Structure 1
Amino acid sequence: MTTPSHDQAVPVPVRLLLPDGQEIVARLWRRRQLPDGWRYEVGIPAYTNTSEGGVEPAEYRVWVRAPEHVRPVDGVSYDAVPTEPLEQPSPVREALGPRRPSGWVLQKLSGGHGPGQAVLHTPDCDEAPEGAPVLELERALDAAEKAGVRLCSLCGAAAELDPVLRGFDHIGDDS
């Protein structure tokens, strides 16, 4: 089912329950589902004063809870009302969890040259330096192949990059 965009919306009548117990007919513009329930944007008929001192019809729009504050009008179809359902989480995303930021960052260690001069991390690693540029895969692999650069095992950089560097044949080897 497609619904018109907000610009093309044609409001339909709906009964609105006011806080003092009155019930009036308002205009339903759109519906939105939130985690705690539905909200309806309704237009309430009102008057406004003009700059010339006159009075003219106006509409006050407000979001209200449904079904607590609104009731359908008999014989009115609500099929064409723009509706924003709650985005359903993907079963794959639920199973895998949130994705980590893409890329890798290089932490240059003080102490000059030789073994242990740099560590390659994922961008969200607690040990990764703040503000370091994020490297794409090719640049990360180039850095990882240099002498003195090790892969962080805390954040998963080693688990992600080691198979690419050494090939997948070594996985499961005891060496």
Structure 2
Amino acid sequence: MILQHHYKDFLSDFKIWNQKPHTKEWLIFSENIGKRLSIDETSLSNGELYTILTNKAAKGKKGALVAMVARTKAERVIAIIEKISLKQQNLVTEMTLDMAGNMGLIAKKCFPNAARVIYRFNVQKLATEALREIRIKYRWQAIDQENEAIEKAKKKTRKGSSLKF
């Protein structure tokens, strides 16, 4: 604990860090921007949502974080990301995002030259749900046909048993 305190207060540049005043609300590392970015929301603690913009080329390692904004409201996130120079925003050619409307709006407004790519997991989930609905529909149709056939067979059996010999 003493070593952490010593590092933070004396060895690091934390006291003179230019993002210190707003660090709880947002962080921007525009030097990490690249051609391919991802944007998503996450909850780090206590249910607080953050919007995170990352450079895919860094593969989650050093230099991956481009921006982190407390909360997910599109207008707020756009205002923060627009602090990145327009020249750098225009370098982005691909944005990977989920299907949330706010993420699509952020990508469209902040990175107009970027193609928007939906996470494959979201596409797989939609396809799986659609397939499940179709299976359920056909299953009920098959059950209805079977019930009709059983009912016809019962009627036929009743008519046959009422004949007198």
Does the pair score TM above 0.5? no
More strand by share: 1
More helix by share: 2
Normalising by structure 2, we get a TM-score of 0.28
Normalising by structure 1, we get a TM-score of 0.27
